[in-house]
Protein backbone atom coordinates (compact mmCIF):
# COMPACT_ATOMS: atom_id res chain seq x y z
CA UNK A 1 0.00 0.00 0.00
CA UNK A 2 2.82 2.44 0.76
CA UNK A 3 4.36 1.64 -2.64
CA UNK A 4 1.12 2.73 -4.32
CA UNK A 5 1.17 5.95 -2.30
CA UNK A 6 4.64 6.76 -3.61
CA UNK A 7 3.55 5.90 -7.17
CA UNK A 8 0.53 8.21 -6.93
CA UNK A 9 2.58 10.92 -5.23
CA UNK A 10 5.19 10.74 -7.99
CA UNK A 11 2.49 10.95 -10.66
CA UNK A 12 0.89 13.93 -8.92
CA UNK A 13 4.19 15.80 -8.57
CA UNK A 14 5.23 14.96 -12.14
CA UNK A 15 1.84 16.08 -13.44
CA UNK A 16 2.02 19.33 -11.46
CA UNK A 17 5.46 20.10 -12.85
CA UNK A 18 4.15 19.25 -16.32
CA UNK A 19 1.27 21.72 -15.88
CA UNK A 20 3.75 24.52 -15.25
CA UNK A 21 6.34 23.50 -17.85
CA UNK A 22 4.10 22.47 -20.79
CA UNK A 23 4.45 24.67 -23.85
CA UNK A 24 0.83 24.46 -24.99
CA UNK A 25 -2.33 25.07 -22.94
CA UNK A 26 -3.81 21.76 -24.08
CA UNK A 27 -0.70 19.89 -22.93
CA UNK A 28 -0.92 21.68 -19.61
CA UNK A 29 -4.55 20.61 -19.35
CA UNK A 30 -3.65 16.95 -19.94
CA UNK A 31 -0.97 17.12 -17.25
CA UNK A 32 -3.59 18.56 -14.89
CA UNK A 33 -5.88 15.60 -15.61
CA UNK A 34 -2.96 13.29 -14.72
CA UNK A 35 -2.47 15.14 -11.45
CA UNK A 36 -6.17 14.94 -10.58
CA UNK A 37 -6.28 11.22 -11.38
CA UNK A 38 -3.26 10.61 -9.14
CA UNK A 39 -4.96 12.51 -6.34
CA UNK A 40 -8.06 10.35 -6.82
CA UNK A 41 -5.84 7.28 -6.46
CA UNK A 42 -4.50 8.71 -3.21
CA UNK A 43 -8.07 9.20 -1.97
CA UNK A 44 -8.81 5.56 -2.76
CA UNK A 45 -5.79 4.52 -0.69
CA UNK A 46 -7.19 6.60 2.19
CA UNK A 47 -10.52 4.77 1.75
CA UNK A 48 -12.28 7.99 0.78
CA UNK A 49 -14.03 6.49 -2.22
CA UNK A 50 -16.64 9.23 -2.48
CA UNK A 51 -13.94 11.92 -2.71
CA UNK A 52 -12.09 9.86 -5.33
CA UNK A 53 -15.23 9.56 -7.44
CA UNK A 54 -15.97 13.28 -7.10
CA UNK A 55 -12.36 14.06 -8.00
CA UNK A 56 -12.72 12.16 -11.27
CA UNK A 57 -16.31 13.08 -12.17
CA UNK A 58 -16.30 16.75 -11.22
CA UNK A 59 -12.72 17.93 -11.60
CA UNK A 60 -11.17 15.64 -14.21
CA UNK A 61 -14.44 15.47 -16.11
CA UNK A 62 -16.53 18.63 -15.94
CA UNK A 63 -13.98 21.27 -14.93
CA UNK A 64 -11.37 20.09 -17.45
CA UNK A 65 -13.98 20.13 -20.22
CA UNK A 66 -14.82 23.70 -19.18
CA UNK A 67 -11.11 24.65 -19.27
CA UNK A 68 -10.75 23.05 -22.70
CA UNK A 69 -13.80 24.97 -23.89
CA UNK A 70 -12.30 28.26 -22.66
CA UNK A 71 -8.93 27.45 -24.30
CA UNK A 72 -10.65 26.74 -27.60
CA UNK A 73 -12.93 29.76 -27.26
CA UNK A 74 -10.05 32.12 -26.60
CA UNK A 75 -7.96 30.40 -29.30
CA UNK A 76 -5.01 29.94 -26.94
CA UNK A 77 -3.68 26.91 -28.78
CA UNK A 78 -2.11 28.95 -31.59
CA UNK A 79 0.61 31.58 -31.89
CA UNK A 80 2.49 30.51 -28.79
CA UNK A 81 4.15 33.44 -27.09
CA UNK A 82 6.72 33.28 -24.35
CA UNK A 83 5.19 33.90 -20.95
CA UNK A 84 6.27 33.46 -17.32
CA UNK A 85 8.03 30.11 -17.82
CA UNK A 86 11.49 31.60 -17.72
CA UNK A 87 14.33 31.81 -15.20
CA UNK A 88 13.19 33.61 -12.05
CA UNK A 89 9.64 32.22 -12.18
CA UNK A 90 10.93 28.62 -12.42
CA UNK A 91 13.34 29.13 -9.51
CA UNK A 92 10.58 30.71 -7.39
CA UNK A 93 8.09 27.93 -8.15
CA UNK A 94 10.59 25.17 -7.36
CA UNK A 95 11.51 27.01 -4.14
CA UNK A 96 7.86 27.12 -3.06
CA UNK A 97 7.39 23.43 -3.94
CA UNK A 98 10.53 22.56 -1.96
CA UNK A 99 9.31 24.56 1.04
CA UNK A 100 5.95 22.80 1.05
CA UNK A 101 7.64 19.40 0.69
CA UNK A 102 9.95 20.27 3.59
CA UNK A 103 7.03 21.24 5.83
CA UNK A 104 5.21 17.99 5.00
CA UNK A 105 8.37 15.96 5.67
CA UNK A 106 8.86 17.71 9.01
CA UNK A 107 5.24 17.00 10.01
CA UNK A 108 5.55 13.38 8.95
CA UNK A 109 8.83 12.98 10.83
CA UNK A 110 7.50 14.59 14.01
CA UNK A 111 4.24 12.68 14.35
CA UNK A 112 4.71 9.62 12.17
CA UNK A 113 1.54 10.54 10.25
CA UNK A 114 0.04 13.50 8.46
CA UNK A 115 -2.96 13.67 10.78
CA UNK A 116 -3.12 16.73 12.95
CA UNK A 117 -4.91 17.62 16.17
CA UNK A 118 -8.33 17.59 14.47
CA UNK A 119 -8.07 13.98 13.29
CA UNK A 120 -10.09 12.67 16.25
CA UNK A 121 -12.98 15.02 15.45
CA UNK A 122 -12.98 13.85 11.85
CA UNK A 123 -13.08 10.21 12.94
CA UNK A 124 -15.96 10.98 15.33
CA UNK A 125 -17.92 12.74 12.56
CA UNK A 126 -17.41 9.79 10.22
CA UNK A 127 -18.55 7.37 12.92
CA UNK A 128 -21.66 9.48 13.64
CA UNK A 129 -22.81 10.45 10.13
CA UNK A 130 -20.87 8.16 7.78
CA UNK A 131 -18.31 9.39 5.25
CA UNK A 132 -20.79 11.28 3.07
CA UNK A 133 -22.56 12.85 6.04
CA UNK A 134 -19.25 13.96 7.55
CA UNK A 135 -18.61 15.98 4.37
CA UNK A 136 -22.18 17.17 3.72
CA UNK A 137 -23.13 18.28 7.24
CA UNK A 138 -20.50 21.05 7.67
CA UNK A 139 -20.63 21.94 3.96
CA UNK A 140 -24.34 22.73 4.02
CA UNK A 141 -24.50 24.21 7.54
CA UNK A 142 -21.29 25.90 8.62
CA UNK A 143 -19.76 26.57 5.19
CA UNK A 144 -22.88 27.16 3.09
CA UNK A 145 -22.09 30.86 2.45
CA UNK A 146 -18.51 30.26 1.22
CA UNK A 147 -19.83 27.34 -0.86
CA UNK A 148 -22.39 29.59 -2.56
CA UNK A 149 -19.87 32.43 -3.00
CA UNK A 150 -17.52 29.99 -4.75
CA UNK A 151 -20.32 29.02 -7.14
CA UNK A 152 -21.04 32.68 -7.91
CA UNK A 153 -17.33 33.35 -8.40
CA UNK A 154 -17.09 30.51 -10.94
CA UNK A 155 -20.14 31.85 -12.77
CA UNK A 156 -18.61 35.35 -12.93
CA UNK A 157 -15.34 33.85 -14.25
CA UNK A 158 -17.18 32.04 -17.04
CA UNK A 159 -19.14 35.17 -18.00
CA UNK A 160 -15.90 37.20 -17.92
CA UNK A 161 -14.18 34.70 -20.21
CA UNK A 162 -17.08 34.90 -22.65
CA UNK A 163 -17.03 38.71 -22.62
CA UNK A 164 -13.29 38.74 -23.26
CA UNK A 165 -13.62 36.21 -26.08
CA UNK A 166 -16.54 38.00 -27.76
CA UNK A 167 -15.48 39.56 -31.05
CA UNK A 168 -16.55 43.05 -31.93
CA UNK A 169 -18.76 43.12 -35.02
Distance of alpha carbon 151 from its chain centroid, rounded? Answer: 16
Q: Is the pLDDT of residue 144 over 70?
A: yes
User: With contact defined as beta carbons under 8 Å apart, do 35 and 15 qualify?
Assistant: yes
Q: Domain check: are 62 and 102 in the same one?
A: no
- Print the domain residue range for 164: 120-169
User: With contact defined as beta carbons under 8 Å apart, do 69 and 53 qualify?
Assistant: no
Q: How many domains does the chain have?
A: 3
Q: Domain check: are 93 and 152 in the same one?
A: no
Angle between the 64-74 and 144-165 helix axes, to the nearest 10 degrees?
20
Tens of pLDDT, residue by residue over 46-76, are 888 888 888 888 887 777 777 777 777 776 5
Q: Domain check: are 124 and 110 in the same one?
A: no
- How many angstroms separate the CA atoms of 120 and 113, rounded? 13
Tens of pLDDT, residue by residue over 4-36, are 888 899 999 999 998 888 888 778 888 888 898
Q: Domain check: are 152 and 108 in the same one?
A: no
What number of residues does the chain have?
Answer: 169
Q: What is the predicted pLDDT for the residue at 75?
A: 66
Distance of alpha carbon 162 from its chain centroid, rounded? Answer: 23
- How many angstroms separate the CA atoms of 139 and 146, rounded? 9
Q: Domain check: are 42 and 89 in the same one?
A: no
Q: Domain check: are 164 and 109 in the same one?
A: no
Q: Domain check: are 73 and 93 in the same one?
A: no
Q: What is the pTM of this model?
A: 0.51
Q: What is the predicted pLDDT for the residue at 12?
A: 92
Q: Domain check: are 72 and 8 in the same one?
A: yes
Amino acid sequence: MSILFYVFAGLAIGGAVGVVMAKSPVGSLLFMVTTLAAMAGTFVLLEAHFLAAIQIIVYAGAIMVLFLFVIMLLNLGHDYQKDLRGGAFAVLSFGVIGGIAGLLARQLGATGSLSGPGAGAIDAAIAEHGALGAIAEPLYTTYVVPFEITGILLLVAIVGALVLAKREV
